[in-house]
Structure 1
């Protein structure tokens, strides 16, 4: 037995169809996928079997003379003929050259008692038909479901189908609706035998042949091959045998049948998934969209608000450490309008924003993810648009919580006090002490200069008092300047801390979105790209 040799294009297209079937579940109609799977299985099995044999099936309705034509071609009375319905209950096979045909007949499921060898039954065979396996199928319009199903199955498996039509029912709706309309592109592996030509005059036969050709062309058979035959007179039998012999000699019918089946399936796939819709579809998430998603998720989490709150709290807390004490003490004696309105302290409110957990807003997160999927799937087939959206939302339930937990880890610890704040506070209180000491000196020197004990007369010396006053003014000025300078440093530090915090939070948001949104979407985009690449390869 010799396995079938395919032309390079068929093997590549079958490989492409395998990829389509692999990527198609959930994207293609299940019936179409099943047909593609069946074709792949049929092609794989047929190509492994004998390439020296060509399977030709005679198909037709009851009363078309199919079995009589089968006997006429084989030259033997192998298939029963008659008028009861159905005449042929089981498929009969006549083989020209039995060697190597057994596995193929087993695949066709032809029973042993219905297999006949032309060479053994008749000493002088038709050499041009060597390698032919001729099948007489059950009537396709049988009232018995079993034989009807067997006819359908073998019509699909045969390398070449000869449709036997009778003059009265050649336009029979059941034949054309169930079979002929499915034969578009199968011209090379389909023959139409207008049988029982002996019942017609020459003019009537010519008219019917023209009418049948026109009918077949309207139904998509571009180049129909119509052969008038008669098993009674023998008219057209040799012509039909010649057509069959040509197909057998070329050893191409099996390949042509698979190519035609593949072409028909390719057209149906193209209708379901037009190639043009994939031309502008991206294969990955570009950097601009990644940044856009990160920005949207940062807004959903409230990263700018957290940064601003952190900066405000940083500044508000620093006033307790680095501000000039005198203004702060004076503020305590002023009335607070917020307290009269019974509102919470603003500092406590601001502090509470950042000391609590960061919370992602689920609705805003969902909107950001949806916007990314919409932008990427623009122009895609609705099935793929839905698939991209589902991929983007595959972790929708966990994404807000993941963002919340990850960003809470980097929330600022606002109870931390920088060392330079402590040093500055010591310095400022030293200046406060110096000012108070100078004030005490002035008080003593001005009020009780004559009552000072021995050794303390310098405190009452009027010549030193101006210098003490100057020292006090300098201390006040130095304290005020150090307070202003410290506030500037605090604001600069708060701004830097805010930038560091927002940068770290943004990095974490980008990492979470890449894992839970971008990666699933890119897997779906890659699947989309591979699917349409396979469709293009399938079309050749």
Structure 2
């Protein structure tokens, strides 16, 4: 065997390893998105492939499979040159798997994995091969009859058919078209052309014309069932005719040392087709793994509207103005208004701090549908064009915390409810100044009253040194000062009101900005982060789906055929 031929399996195995790793990622991310049956089959393939690739690559496992009476065991004996497997007409003839090994070194662990019992293992020494040393590395299995009436042996045949490197189907001329065989096995192995050989045994019972007709009929039947290029060999275990031709095929397969890899590839190709039907690889839209800034802002805006952040800001502005009137309003004006109605009572504010908290909580709890709609809109925008399974996954991720989201937002906003009992220092200064003006105005009134009673009406005389307070000539000046005091007080109230309006706007902006920041933080942790995790899985899944695909457009990794047809 040339060095170039020996080097081929390593390259193939490297490509196969990458595909199996990608399939492992598909299995990891597939639950809830891919049918459980396909995931289970993929998982079994990964375990089987991992076990087989760790075992001897110098041995090729060839399984002779067939029904009772097909001559499978006789053919096994004919190939091995020894009477190793019992033959006859009892059902079943082969109760346990028999193995004949050409080159026993390193085959033990592989036979253990195949679960072939020790007493049914046979070795062919090179000295006895009589020129058939080219079969060195062959492990030939005679499987129990697949149509056995014994459930145990029937299960054993099924198990080994699933894991053997090459399957040789032994059919007899009378039952080669048996529907149960084709439906149960052949159709399931469609696409495994490179690792499947069909033997039409007992050819000695047929005339040359009948044999050619049976071979053509069998080939046509196999092609209809998905075997694109079937290898059909005619043999007679009784006369030995065709056995050497079958040996040549087995020798070629053994020499190539690629049957194990190509069997795994064939199984992988089939699963890839099943996955492609469920989740077409061309399906994923160009969606990234992060939620873009525009969508984040849109979600924050929608949640702010849903919980009434603008309403809370307006309430704060109104409460701020109403409370400031108690501190910076001209006292005389306030006292006159109180004779008619209570402005705070009209606003129904009561405990202002409690009211603002109640307003915040009510806005959140009263709008669960709006919160839900905001989250749903984000998910729908991101999942547009996705496969249904992934679209539902993105929606579920976005809604994973939606039931608790209103309360979370309410708790966050309650923490930033403004301290409405806080009184700015300048409010106190204005109030002190205004009450000073009120005191001076009251003193002016007292002066007018004193001057009128003492100087004008002569009701009493002022004490010595205080005659100026009883002089009626000072009344015009006192009146002017009092009018100035009233004007100054009213002017201070108007100026303070203007400053209050500006301050209320600033407070509202600060509150709404802090609320938006908190809403954005909640949206990030409760909605965006779960969605981004799902988007990352989506991208990773389709990258794995692409990695599972064969390298060639024909659905198979480029490699030399195992069997050369003349």
Q: TM-score, normalised by structure 2?
A: 0.88
Pick one of 5, 13, 32 that aligns with 2:19.
Answer: 13
Deviation at 1:315, TM superposition (A): 0.5
* Shift in CA distance, 121/196, structure 1 to aligned 2, threshold 3 Å: farther
2:71 is aligned with 1:75: no
Could you list the per-position Cα deviations for residues 223-264 of structure 1 after superposition, in whole angstroms to 9, with x for gaps in the alignment? 111112222333322222111111111111111111111111
Pick one of 50, 53, 58 that aligns with 2:64.
Answer: 58
CA distance in 2: counterparts of 1:350 and 1:182, whole angstroms? 77
Q: Secondary structure at the match of 1:281?
A: coil
Residue of structure 1 equivalent to 2:198:
192
Pick one of 484, 493, 499 that aligns with 1:489.
Answer: 499
CA distance in 2: counterparts of 1:372 and 1:144, whole angstroms? 59
Residue of structure 1 equivalent to 2:535:
525
Residue of structure 2 equivalent to 1:128:
134
Residue of structure 2 equivalent to 1:379:
385
Deviation at 1:526, TM superposition (A): 1.6
What pairs with 1:343-492 in structure 2 (closer than 5 Å)? 345-348=346-349, 351=352, 352-356=354-358, 358-359=360-361, 360-361=364-365, 362-445=368-451, 448-450=454-456, 451=458, 453=462, 454-459=464-469, 464-492=474-502
Deviation at 1:113, TM superposition (A): 1.8
CA distance in 2: counterparts of 1:93 and 1:81, whole angstroms? 15
Residue of structure 1 equivalent to 2:211:
205
CA distance in 2: counterparts of 1:146 and 1:250, whole angstroms? 34
Deviation at 1:425, TM superposition (A): 1.0
Maintained 8 Å contact 2:126/2:133: no
Residue of structure 1 equivalent to 2:261:
255
CA distance in 2: counterparts of 1:241 and 1:124, whole angstroms? 13
Q: Secondary structure at the match of 1:315?
A: helix
* Shift in CA distance, 335/291, structure 1 to aligned 2, threshold 3 Å: closer
CA distance in 1: counterparts of 2:110 and 2:68, whole angstroms? 27
Deviation at 1:490, TM superposition (A): 0.5
Deviation at 1:421, TM superposition (A): 0.8
Could you list the per-position Cα deviations for residues 407-433 of structure 1 after superposition, in whole angstroms to 9, with x for gaps in the alignment? 222111111111111110111122223
Deviation at 1:477, TM superposition (A): 2.2
Q: Secondary structure at the match of 1:178?
A: helix
CA distance in 1: counterparts of 2:208 and 2:480, whole angstroms? 140
Could you list the per-position Cα deviations for residues 498-524 of structure 1 after superposition, in whole angstroms to 9, with x for gaps in the alignment? 111111122122222222222222222
Maintained 8 Å contact 1:141/1:174: no
2:100 is aligned with 1:94: yes
CA distance in 1: counterparts of 2:345 and 2:316, whole angstroms? 18
Deviation at 1:457, TM superposition (A): 4.6
What pairs with 1:163-312 in structure 2 (closer than 5 Å)? 163-312=169-318
CA distance in 1: counterparts of 2:502 and 2:281, whole angstroms? 58
Could you list the per-position Cα deviations for residues 254-308 of structure 1 after superposition, in whole angstroms to 9, with x for gaps in the alignment? 1111111111111112222222332333312222222222223323333222221
Q: Secondary structure at the match of 2:239?
A: coil
Maintained 8 Å contact 1:85/1:143: yes
CA distance in 2: counterparts of 1:48 and 1:348, whole angstroms? 78
* 307-316 or 473-482: bigger deviation: 473-482
Deviation at 1:370, TM superposition (A): 3.1
Q: Secondary structure at the match of 2:416?
A: coil
Q: TM-score, normalised by structure 1?
A: 0.92
* Shift in CA distance, 346/50, structure 1 to aligned 2, threshold 3 Å: same
Maintained 8 Å contact 1:313/1:347: no
Could you list the per-position Cα deviations for residues 196-222 of structure 1 after superposition, in whole angstroms to 9, with x for gaps in the alignment? 222222222222222222222221111
Residue of structure 1 equivalent to 2:560:
none
Where structure 2 has 5 or more consecutive residues not aligned to the other structure, the ranges are 1-5, 551-566
Count of residues paired in the alignment: 534
Maintained 8 Å contact 1:186/1:261: yes
CA distance in 2: counterparts of 1:115 and 1:310, whole angstroms? 90
2:296 is aligned with 1:327: no
Maintained 8 Å contact 1:294/1:513: yes
CA distance in 2: counterparts of 1:415 and 1:246, whole angstroms? 94
* 394-403 or 102-111: bigger deviation: 394-403
Deviation at 1:190, TM superposition (A): 0.8
Deviation at 1:385, TM superposition (A): 3.0
CA distance in 2: counterparts of 1:74 and 1:423, whole angstroms? 113
Deviation at 1:178, TM superposition (A): 1.3
Maintained 8 Å contact 2:200/2:233: yes
Maintained 8 Å contact 1:407/1:505: yes
* 442-451 or 144-153: bigger deviation: 442-451
Could you list the per-position Cα deviations for residues 455-498 of structure 1 after superposition, in whole angstroms to 9, with x for gaps in the alignment? 44545656544333332332222222211111111011111111
CA distance in 2: counterparts of 1:332 and 1:132, whole angstroms? 109
Q: Superposition RMSD on alpha carbons, in Å? A: 2.6
Q: Secondary structure at the match of 2:42?
A: helix
Q: Secondary structure at the match of 2:340?
A: coil
